[in-house]
Amino acid sequence: MTIGHTLLGLLESGPRHGYDLKRAFDERFGQDRPLHYGQVYATMARLLKNGLVEVEGIEAGEGPDRKRYAITDAGVTDVEQWLAQPEKPEPYLQSALYTKVVVALLTGRSAQDILDTQRSEHLRLMRELTRRKSGGDLSDQLICDHALFHLEADMRWLELTAARLDQLAEELAR
């Protein structure tokens, strides 16, 4: 999961101060690991350097806190590409996927597409594993099966999430 893309996604709904960004992030995704201020400024600095955000205005006062960031067109494209790119299927994937789904919902994009894309990617890998399993010896089969079962669990999560997208959108809107 990339904090940069997430913060970009949050900015899409409107310019914000760094402090607000941190709060919004923590509220949605930071249950286990809240962001440090330092992380936010470092990330924003990188995004600024890459031209994905711009500083819309600096209010009078002291400290970095006074900068208001806004997303650039390049930033929007970057978010778009990030969302469209399926995650590499691997264990403990859901936090990244979850972030993407939420960002998609927040920015008015199709979360369903994200899930479908991810599904296909998962299935593609599962096909490969299945094929490898069919041609391999027992140890290959056991190893492949381990991966398959994990991927299957992800798929179940994808299906379940897909079925609850409407509910999730409602909660986010509140």
Partner 1 sequence: MTPMTPTAHSARPGRSEAPLLAATGLHKSYGATPALAGADFQIHGGEIVAVMGPSGSGKSTLLHCLAGIVSPDGGTVHYQGRELSALSDARRSALRRSDFGFVFQFGQLVPELTCLENVALPLRLAGTRRRDAEQRAAEWLERLEVADVAGKRPGEVSGGQGQRVAIARALAPRPRVVFADEPTGALDSLNGERAMQLLTAAARDTGAAVVLVTHEVRVAAYSDREVVVRDGRATTPAAAL
* H or E stretch at 70: strand 67-71
Q: Does 27 bind partner 1 (CB under 8 A)?
A: no
Distance in Å, CB of 67 to partner 1, minimum? 38
Q: Does 46 bind partner 1 (CB under 8 A)?
A: no
Q: Does 169 bind partner 1 (CB under 8 A)?
A: no
Residue nearer to partner 1 on the CB measure, 20 or 145: 145
Site string for partner 1, 67-106 (x = CB under 8 A): -------------------x-xxx----------------
Helix residue ranges, H only, the chain: 3-11, 18-29, 37-49, 73-84, 94-106, 111-135, 138-163, 165-173
Q: Which stretch in 3-11, 31-39, 74-82, 116-124 sits in contact with partner 1 by CB under 8 A?
A: 116-124
Q: Does 164 bind partner 1 (CB under 8 A)?
A: no
Q: Which residues partner with 53 through β-bridges?
A: 71
Residue nearer to partner 1 on the CB measure, 1 or 48: 1
Quick one: which of 54, 80, 87, 121 contacts partner 1 (CB under 8 A)? 121
Q: Does 165 bind partner 1 (CB under 8 A)?
A: no
Closest Cα to residue 5, out of 76, 95, 87, 106? 76
Q: Which residues partner with 70 through β-bridges?
A: 54
Q: Which two structure tokens, joined as six digits, stand for 20?
A: 């607000």
Closest Cα to residue 113, out of 88, 89, 91, 80? 80
